[in-house]
Chain A
Amino acid sequence: MRRYFARKVAIYLLTFFVAVTLNWLIPRFMPGDPVLRMLTRTSVSNPDAIAPMREYYNNVFGLDVPLWRQYLNYWAELLQGNMGISVWLFPAPVTEVILDAVPYTLALLIPSILLSWYAGNKVGALAARRKWLDNTVLPLGYALTATPYMWIAIVLAWSLAIIAGVFPVAGGYSFDLQPSWSLVFFNSLIQHWFLPFLSLFLVAFGGWAIGMRNMIIYELEADYANYLEALGAPRRLIRRYAFRNALLPQLTGLALQLGVLVAGALVTEIVFGYPGLGRLILMAIQNQDFFLLQGAFLFIVIGVLIANFVIDIVYVLVDPRTRTGMTGGAA
């Protein structure tokens, strides 16, 4: 057991290191120059001011040292929780900007991932054994999972927010409120949260439902199911075993799907004007904001790694074979 986790942790640390390095590297390959952006924004008209201002901003952003030094500085700062200063939102520190946005993104992602996975598996399993349900869930699931996140978000925003007026169009909470521990505020938060959540939930739900349905049907035709049936075991018992076995690939799928869901959340947030990371990333790319982009990606990398690690642990818990394998290996 310990060896298994030690190996996993080592792999995750290595992944983290590589991801952070790439994260530092990639923005620097983008065309454009952040200091130039600052100078353009302040529209320097004084020719004498260009050189001193360039030097000044290079220093502010730590771009006045050789690349290898910048890379080391980046790690040193990062370990102290400091991710530099945003170019686009100058002079706000990246950490601050991201921490303001992260709660919204997490509030969208965690419930939509978990609920869609749970509901999708349940419904998919049900569909596999009821003909009429199968006939409705299957086409619906295919339609949902093939829908781009942005499209379903636009449809929901248009129909439920603009035409029906049941939900708000944009924002994290009502524009006439200030954050407080009140019921009104909480209510407003939920209302603004619901549509973005729903669009993420629906798309992911379709995928899980189809996956589960197919897995169950496959498992029900497996030898062990036939053998159990021949022994006269009740259908219910067989289905339960099938479900447990079908769940494992779905769990692996969850780990793989995380990245896709994060990407989906980004576009969804933009459609609903939801104040999460999505818009920050888009604007950071457009503004050559290396530092904000690094910060946002770092958050995503950490999030995905942690989630994968959790899934690894869950895997051990739900799949007895992994456990046996480990004890066998240890012995």
Chain B
Amino acid sequence: MRTRPRYIAALFTAVLLATTACEGGDSGSSGNSSNGGQYPRNETLYTSGSAWGPPTTWNPIVPGYATGTVGLVYEPLFIFNPEKLELEPWLAEKGEWSADNKTYTVTLRDGVKWSDDKPLTADDVKYTVELGKIKAVPYSNLWNWLASVEATDQRTVKFTFSDPRVQEWENWLYENAIVPKHIWESRSEADITTHKNEKPVGSGPYVYQAHAQDRMVWKKKDGWWAEKALNLKVAPTYVVDIVNSSNEVALGLLTSGRLDLSNNFLPGVANLLKGDFKVKTYYAEPPYMLSANTAMLIPNTTKAPMNDVAFRKALAESIEVKKIVEGVYGNIVKASNPTGLLPVYDQYVDQATVSSSGFTFDTNKAKATLAAAGYKDTNGDGKVEDKAGKPISLKLIVPSGWTDWMEAARVIAEGAQAAGLNIVAEFPDAAALDDARTAGKFDLLLNNWTGVSNTPWTYYNYLFQMPVQAQQFSANFSRYQNQAAWELVQKLSRTPSSDPAYKTTIAELQKIQLTEMPAIPLWYNGMWAQYTESAWTNWPSEAAGAPKDFPSTWNNMWELGSIKMLTQLKPVSSK
């Protein structure tokens, strides 16, 4: 009895020593992970920044699928080229509008196969589109303006529209992936949106290899159609997407060379670039990142005083965006154009309107605007009261834990306070904020749900969508009602980009947006992308001769051309 505790102690010590010895012995090789693993380092691309939870679904119909489900496995008919602002045929060989824009005919490529070797046919396309008749399918509103879809032969699909919304349709074409009918048709209506779809059968360059709580692994498949049709070959044999636990972990992985592409928001990345970490970004100089979406200050226009244009104008003039760009972000974002249109749409910005009705930061002007509209400081507390003389007290809410936005909100509140507007920043839980935004129970908030797309229509739809519902899920969080603007948005949707009316309609919408200010564009959030060249080179960059594809693994970026990044990468020759 007396000896036993000691014996146990000795045993524990031995085990502990043995395990530590193990660490010491193997750590060298695993640090570089150049040997011993099942995925050879020079054939594997490690990515992160897209998945925030364990991969649990591979169903391309419902958002929330594992990184790359749409893009690497399932593919759309077209992809969008943000450099040229046009659709590029992908699964489709071509797509044509009829002369009266009432019908659209898609011709599929010859020889496209699913990963189970069955051919991809017009029937699959028809089936996918018709899934939209199920209300729970996210693109069900397609059928509000699409009349019918018809597979005229193996490779031809004809779409007939009751209301030909050209821009919205083209948006649909590249944002939604085609699924194989022969696998999906056996599923019930409820299954379509709740099925996990393990081991997905798709047409894309990768197939399922493995997944775990903290990773998703894709393996290249032989005979991807684009190898022959477009002479494109994806370089990495394996793509390992690491589930994020925090941005700090991603930073650690990146600087130690265990991660090739990080699409995480890494504050202070400018210092990394200067330091000896071999980290690269798209631009070598500020803003370092491409612009992905516009961060907007959303006023709730159903409440006073946000329902007053003059008030919104003064608010816009009180915000020092430069301070957010430099102080909060360290120059990794760009200040937004007053129109809020992303840099890819620069050609549509009406400079004349911007210079006449655009707003700039000017605290004194903001004060003057307020005074002219009848907002005066009657009780002498340094803050203006509303027109009836009652004190104004507003809250600007951003999700707790979004450190960059929290800082930005403080800057905005500071600027407003300086102009005499009593606005304070508050940081509720992200879910509570979602509820407030959806139900319209807020004063002011920040939102950036309008990103790069094929057309500024998505942006104006986001700003002006009507009718305003009790719950607003995806657009018009300001709850701003302007029938004329909404009609222009609908007109824009029906206008082909080649039509001269396209540009003039956008110009008219800009005028309304700048005079009415339903939302205040502040800065362009970056398409966060940091890469290292320890295993892969030829990353997208502004440099001459470098690929210009979007360097992102975020879901819905693949179809904006990120998939082509994988075909451009070159392995660093093995040592």
Contact = CB atoms under 8 A, between A and B. Distances in A.
A288 B435 CA distance: 11
Interface in B141-198: 141, 144, 190, 194-196
A91 interface: yes
Interface of B: 8-9, 12, 16, 19-20, 22-24, 26-27, 30-31, 33, 36-41, 44, 46, 52-54, 56-57, 59, 62-64, 135-136, 138, 140-141, 144, 190, 194-196, 210, 212-215, 217, 240, 242-246, 248-249, 252-253, 255-256, 258, 429-432, 434-435, 438, 449, 465, 467, 469, 471, 473-475
Contacts of A44: 138, 473-474
18 contacts: A31-B432, A32-B431, A32-B434, A41-B63, A49-B141, A89-B54, A89-B64, A162-B256, A165-B27, A168-B31, A170-B214, A174-B37, A175-B215, A187-B22, A191-B26, A271-B249, A286-B430, A286-B431
Given A46-B144, A194-B23, A91 B196 contact: yes
Interface stretch (A8-16, A68-76, A114-122, A137-145): A114-122
A161 B500 CA distance: 59
Given A47-B469, A115-B12, A175-B240, 7 more contacts: A31-B429, A39-B438, A97-B54, A175-B46, A177-B38, A270-B245, A275-B243
Interface in A30-50: 30-33, 36-37, 39-50
Given A175-B215, A194-B19, A165 B256 contact: yes
Contacts of B9: 118, 122
Interface string A155-179: 0010001100111111110111111
Interface stretch (A52-60, A215-223, A308-316): A52-60
A307 interface: no
A178 B473 CA distance: 40
Given A175-B33, A178-B210, A275-B214, A170 B245 contact: yes
A190 interface: yes
A172 B249 CA distance: 13
B53 A190 contact: no
Contacts of A92: 56-57, 196
B140 A49 contact: yes
Contacts of A37: 431, 434
A275 B212 contact: yes
A100 B196 CA distance: 16
Contacts of B471: 36, 39, 50
Contacts of B30: 168, 174, 188, 191
A31 B38 contact: no
Contact of B431 (A47, A269, A287): A287
Residue of A175, A194, A288 most packed against chain B (CB within 10 A): A175
B12 A119 contact: yes
Contacts of A303: none
Nearest to A184: B36
B39 A169 contact: no
A39 B258 CA distance: 36
B54 A49 contact: no
Contacts of A269: 245
B212 A187 contact: no
B6 to A, nearest CB: 10
Nearest to B24: A166
A239 interface: no
Contact of A36 (B26, B253, B438): B438
A171 B214 contact: yes
A273 B245 contact: yes
Contacts of A274: 245
Nearest to B25: A187
A52 B136 contact: yes
A170 B22 contact: no
A236 to B, nearest CB: 10
A194 B438 CA distance: 44
A62 to B, nearest CB: 14
A283 interface: yes
Contact of B57 (A91, A101, A275, A283): A91
Given A39-B473, A44-B473, A169 B252 contact: yes
Nearest to B475: A45
Contacts of A175: 33, 39, 46, 215, 240, 242, 258
A23 interface: no
A28 to B, nearest CB: 13
A269 B243 CA distance: 13
A178 B471 CA distance: 45
A52 B193 CA distance: 13
A157 B242 contact: no
B431 A273 contact: no
Given A50-B469, A52-B136, A273-B246, A118 B38 contact: no
A291 interface: no
Contact of A176 (B8, B240, B248): B240
A104 interface: yes
A36 B53 contact: no
A201 to B, nearest CB: 10
A205 interface: no
